Amino acid sequence: MNNRCETCAFGREGAANEPDNALMSRLCGLGAIPFYCHHGRLDNAEYDWQSDPLGPLSLHPSNRKLCAGWQAEVKSLKAAGCFPNPAYIAIRRAVARRGMALLRRMYIPDIGRGKQKIAQQDLKRCIKFLTKRDIGKEPIPL
């Protein structure tokens, strides 16, 4: 496994300081959703996924690499018992994707304060669910 780059979204500088990127990356970690490094594997160029609708998928597969910070996060979560049952990974991914969609929804222009507040409350439920180690008896916030 590679070392984290200085601008890792799972670190304290660089991409981690971008608005909502820290939360988005944590949702990927908690949901075991693959998160790609902002640097290419072959060219080591830094890419801006936020301005590219395809994100890392716009790169040739040989130039993509999984984020070392994400790998370390998922490894740590697994060691802490967050992924005891492989069947639960699909549930965690679905809830994490829902959380990411809710976060994006909160920033839709003219969404209205009421809908924004509902999205925020739903996002909190997703985060609360994802941060539990054993989700076996928890209601799924979908």
**In the chain, what are the domain boundaries?**
14-130
Angle (nearest 5°) at CA 81 between 140 and 26: 65
Q: Whose structure tokens read 């180690």?
A: 133
pLDDT tens readout for residues 111-126: 899 999 999 999 999 9
pLDDT tens readout for residues 44-102: 888 877 778 788 888 889 999 999 999 999 999 999 988 888 889 999 999 999 999 99
The model carries a pTM of 0.85
Comparing C-alpha atoms, which of 39, 35, 24 is closest to residue 72? 35
Q: Whose structure tokens read 């996060």?
A: 73
> Taking a C-beta distance cutoff of 8 angstroms, is the pair 81, 51 a contact?
no
Contacts of 66 (CB under 8 A, 6+ apart): 34, 35, 36, 37
End-to-end CA distance of the chain: 33
